[in-house]
Amino acid sequence: MSKVGIIANPASGKDIRRLVAYGSVFDNQEKVNIVRRALLGLEAAGVEEILYMPDYYNIVPRALDSVHLRMDVKPLDMPCEGNQNDSTRAAELLEEACAKCIVVLGGDGTNRAVAKGSTAVPFMPISTGTNNVFPFMVESTIAGLAAGFLATGIVSVDEATSATKRLDILLDGEVVDLALVDVALYDDIFIGAKAIWDMSKVKEIILTQAEPSNIGLSSVGGVLLEEGLSQNQGLHMRLGSHMEEGRIEITAPVAPGFVRLVYVDTFDVIEVGGVVEFEAAPAVLALDGEREVEILPNQIAAVRLSDHGPRVVNIEKTMRLAVQRGRLKANNIKRKEE
């Protein structure tokens, strides 16, 4: 049976960057509309069953209100805590249920929480907001179609998806968390409001990708490295708070509407399997833009680059292959020659 999971985070698109920067606010009614269109795309692709994460806003049930679907759509059997643990637990259950794809509605943080539950099931990540790198800004009808063509076997996993990297967080040698895009050593002792916006407190950054077209911390690496990173590489940078001899001054879009000067002291390209150890403690590690891990005095914190990130649906390639295989054609009508 072709089975797809939906994890829609009702809390995404509302963090403090909407106040301290110029990020867009994404309300839950718009998420309902996005999920509705994704469901219609999934059904058109031939998906038979949808399993979804329950949430306090009832995003998927509301999306079903005005449509009549042939698919079997039902919630996962799990409690709703109203925090990121819901996304992690939902991903674990979807892997156990043998889902072929997970449609993730949220930002970098939501996708990180889902990846903590499963990296074995391919992601179809739909961005909700303006401060994201991992998920796509895509019309959800198309996202639903692409996820559906993968789930129904029209396009195989090898053909339809691309591999991603991740950063494993280690405290005293034990893996305690992960990030998909960036890890920042933040000069503070409290997690607080989670989101980071004060670049003067960012002392080190480790990246899985470095593109100048990205927003956030990965843009710093994108401006620094003209050629970017290969699939087996990451980037480690040490920053300064002001310009000194030997430092590299760059300008990068570190948050929506925030184009700031950043001073790079040293940088190193790291390979998959490479480990970077931090020297500062106490401090906080921000994962994919949100403060998550406190480093206590005498703790040894490190980050390891891994190639075991979730596979992500390549929308353009999947849709092209589906067309070539006649999935969207009622018959083979040849175009008349002029």
Has residue 107 got a pLDDT over 60? yes
Instruction: Determine the pLDDT at residue 150.
Output: 98
Domain spanning 3-164+310-324, CATH architecture:
3-Layer(aba) Sandwich (3.40)
Of these ranges, 36-40, 130-134, 211-215, 256-260, the one predicted with the greatest mean pLDDT is 36-40
Q: What is the maximal distance between C-alpha atoms in the chain?
A: 76
Section 180-204 average pLDDT = 87
* Average pLDDT value over all residues in the chain: 92
Has residue 332 got a pLDDT over 70? no
pLDDT band at 190 (very low <50, low <70, confident <90, very high): confident
pLDDT band at 338 (very low <50, low <70, confident <90, very high): very low
Residues 6+ apart with CB under 8 A from 83: 11
Section 12-41 average pLDDT = 77
Instruction: Determine the pLDDT at residue 241.
Output: 85
Instruction: Determine the pLDDT at residue 75.
Output: 98
pLDDT band at 337 (very low <50, low <70, confident <90, very high): very low
Has residue 167 got a pLDDT over 80? yes
Count of C-beta atoms within a 10 Å radius of residue 283: 22
- Domain boundaries along the sequence of the chain: 3-164+310-324, 166-306
Instruction: Determine the pLDDT at residue 82.
Output: 92
Has residue 286 got a pLDDT over 60? yes
Has residue 320 got a pLDDT over 90? yes
Instruction: Determine the pLDDT at residue 121.
Output: 98
Has residue 105 got a pLDDT over 70? yes
What's the predicted TM-score (pTM) here?
0.92
- Closest C-alpha among 221, 199, 209, 233 to residue 267: 221
- The beta strands (E) that lie in the chain are given as 3-8, 49-52, 72-75, 101-106, 123-127, 161-162, 166-171, 174-179, 182-186, 202-207, 233-240, 248-255, 258-271, 275-277, 283-287, 290-295, 301-306, 312-313
Has residue 13 got a pLDDT over 90? no
Has residue 125 got a pLDDT over 80? yes
Has residue 333 got a pLDDT over 60? no
Instruction: Determine the pLDDT at residue 196.
Output: 79
User: Which of left, alpha, beta for 189 (phi over 0: left; psi -120 to 50: alpha)?
Assistant: alpha
Instruction: Determine the pLDDT at residue 18.
Output: 46
Query: Check: CATH 2.60.200 for 166-306?
Result: yes
